[in-house]
Structure 1
Amino acid sequence: MTQLLIEGRGLSLTRQGTAILSNVDIHVGAGEIVTIVGPNGAGKTTLVRVLLGVLAPDGGTVTRKPGLQVGYLPQKLHVDPVLPLGVRRLVTLTKRASRAEVDAALVEVGGLHLAEKAVSGLSGGEMQRVLLARALLRRPDLLVLDEPTQGVDQTGQAEFYELLRTIRDRRGCGIVLISHDLHVVMAATDRVICLQHHVCCAGAPRTVAGDPEYRRLFGPAAAEFAIYSHRHDHGHDLHGNPLPCDHDHGHAHTHAPTASDEVRP
């Protein structure tokens, strides 16, 4: 049986007479990727803050594994461009670590070549990998990522989510994603929770993609974006440039269909 990492039951939160969360149930187990989707203002980030103990709910309970270690990637991290901050320093700002530990974390996210760069010179995709390395230094039982590919191009999004699956498989940690990148995330996750202050629907990606509530929130085309995938015989670098590789090492690659793509049923 999968080890339970965190669970919320009947979570409710009201602010200024408006229900932000209403009787929300959620649980995340070890080795599971759970994605919370919903329109802007649906309460996604608030739900995560309640789960992590940053906010206290008005109703309901939260249960966490004793000693739960959490690695968190914020939605946006502003770094003053005039601040002389290097990647190694950023990675160790909130946790002391040896050079070898920092390098190992950067290797795991494919970012060792960024180690000596200034943070101000990083692209969006590079920054997210550095922040992920920073989170991994905590040896987390649970990774929480809030809109992790905001500002990253479509190819970079798919590569980042593929990296998350690899980390999950290697470490056995649980992962919670908050995202609007439905065309990529739905195929990269084990379970989806569709939130609009309450849980509209939840389950496996294909189940949620066909749910009337999901289609009502995101439109009928959302289901096609959610389940489309194909295979490549190449990889990509952090900027989305193709990298040739053997046919035997091609990888699954999910993206939104374009006019030239054949959408599979």
Structure 2
Amino acid sequence: MSTSPLTPSEPLIRAEGLSVRFGSRQVLDRVDVAVQPGKVVTLIGPNGAGKTTLVRALLGLVKPSSGSVRRRPGLRIGYMPQRLAVDPTLPLTVRRFLALWRPVTAGRMTAALEQAGVARLADQPVQSISGGEMQRVLLARALLAEPDLLVLDEPDQAVDVHGQAELYARIDAVRRASGCGVLLVSHDLHTVMARTDHVVCLNGHVCCSGHPEDVSRHPEYHSLFGGHAAELAVYLHHHDHAHADDGSLVRTTEGGCCHG
């Protein structure tokens, strides 16, 4: 497998023809994916589709059987796993928990906690915080790397709908402020379609990929998700108008705006 670096003008990370076998089982078959700076790429697919395996192969944690992974030289990656178990007997505050992985200044830790929206939890025991709060602590942990590429494996685990909206708003703010790329794994098709620049629909191989609107209309997408695909279709809000401070519509351009 080739691991040659990318040039600065190329994506942050790129996989080409990536295949992974575990014994006799083919988990991934000739997958292509790339993440550009400042863009959000989302992997969707059913359980067992190989999404986490693909992420682990991109991170160098799983050895592909064929294909190539290329990374920009000096690429800094912040990784947020699906979940992280903490021994309930360990006397760990959030601050001490974050310091376990890398030496970090107090200022940098505070900044990461603020970016994730959990600065108020810094001195709380990790065992006392909610599942949604823990996910944002894990986001802060990923941000300590000051990443060029933020890799998020189902970050909305154990997070309610309101918490998901806040979490993804935080991720979007980080992307806009730093220009980092984001590789996101999710089962939540509503969230995927609203929050991403490029979707890769995976089921051992790439079923379809492209702009969220295009993927949502693709026959392979509908075949994979069945009747749920129509129920979860993206609502595309083309912002061809302006609003007053109270939210009322004050101007439209050709095509208008559909509300309902």
TM-score (norm 2): 0.86
Q: Does 1:121 align with 2:110?
A: no
**Shift in Å, 1:228:** 3.1
**Does the CA contact (< 8 Å) of 2:77 and 2:150 recur in 1?**
yes
Corresponding residue to 1:146 among 147, 153, 169: 153
Query: Structure 2 CA distance, aligned partners of 1:168 and 1:223?
Result: 30
Q: Does 1:133 align with 2:140?
A: yes
Amino acid at match of 1:179: S
**Residue equivalent to 2:168:** 161
Query: Structure 1 CA distance, aligned partners of 2:225 and 2:259?
Result: 20
| 1:137–1:85 CA distance, 2 compared to 1 (3 A) | same
Query: Structure 1 CA distance, aligned partners of 2:205 and 2:144?
Result: 34
| 1:264–1:209 CA distance, 2 compared to 1 (3 A) | farther
Aligned to 1:97, the other structure's residue is in SS state coil
**Residue equivalent to 1:204:** 211
**Does the CA contact (< 8 Å) of 2:154 and 2:185 recur in 1?**
yes
Amino acid at match of 2:196: T
Amino acid at match of 1:18: R
Query: Structure 2 CA distance, aligned partners of 1:99 and 1:248?
Result: 39
For residues 174-209 of structure 1, what are the alpha-carbon distances to aligned partners after superposition, in whole Å with 9 as ceiling and x for unaligned?
A: 011111011112210110000001000000111111
Aligned residues: 237
| 1:164–1:80 CA distance, 2 compared to 1 (3 A) | same
The structure with the largest alpha-carbon Rg is 2
**Residue equivalent to 1:11:** 18
For residues 57-109 of structure 1, what are the alpha-carbon distances to aligned partners after superposition, in whole Å with 9 as ceiling and x for unaligned?
A: 11101110001111001111001122111100111211111212111111111
**Residue equivalent to 2:253:** none
**Does the CA contact (< 8 Å) of 1:143 and 1:173 recur in 2?**
yes
Aligned-CA RMSD value = 2.1
**Does the CA contact (< 8 Å) of 1:144 and 1:177 recur in 2?**
yes
Query: Structure 1 CA distance, aligned partners of 2:50 and 2:60?
Result: 15
**Shift in Å, 1:221:** 3.5
**Does the CA contact (< 8 Å) of 1:85 and 1:118 recur in 2?**
yes
**Does the CA contact (< 8 Å) of 1:200 and 1:214 recur in 2?**
yes
**Residue equivalent to 1:85:** 92
Aligned to 1:227, the other structure's residue is in SS state coil
Amino acid at match of 2:216: A
**Shift in Å, 1:224:** 4.4
Identity of matched residues, %: 54
| Moved beyond 2 Å, runs of 4+ | 219-226, 247-250
**Does the CA contact (< 8 Å) of 2:31 and 2:205 recur in 1?**
yes
**Does the CA contact (< 8 Å) of 2:135 and 2:157 recur in 1?**
no
**Residue equivalent to 2:229:** 222
Aligned to 1:4, the other structure's residue is in SS state coil
**Does the CA contact (< 8 Å) of 1:33 and 1:176 recur in 2?**
yes
Aligned to 1:27, the other structure's residue is in SS state strand
**Residue equivalent to 2:76:** 69
Query: Structure 2 CA distance, aligned partners of 1:216 and 1:6?
Result: 29
For residues 116-165 of structure 1, what are the alpha-carbon distances to aligned partners after superposition, in whole Å with 9 as ceiling and x for unaligned?
A: 11100111111111111111111111010111111111121122112111
Which sections of structure 1, spanning at least 5 residues, go unmatched?
231-246, 251-262
**Residue equivalent to 2:111:** 104
**Shift in Å, 1:220:** 3.4
**Residue equivalent to 2:3:** none
**Shift in Å, 1:249:** 9.1
| 1:225–1:171 CA distance, 2 compared to 1 (3 A) | same
Query: Structure 2 CA distance, aligned partners of 1:221 and 1:162?
Result: 25
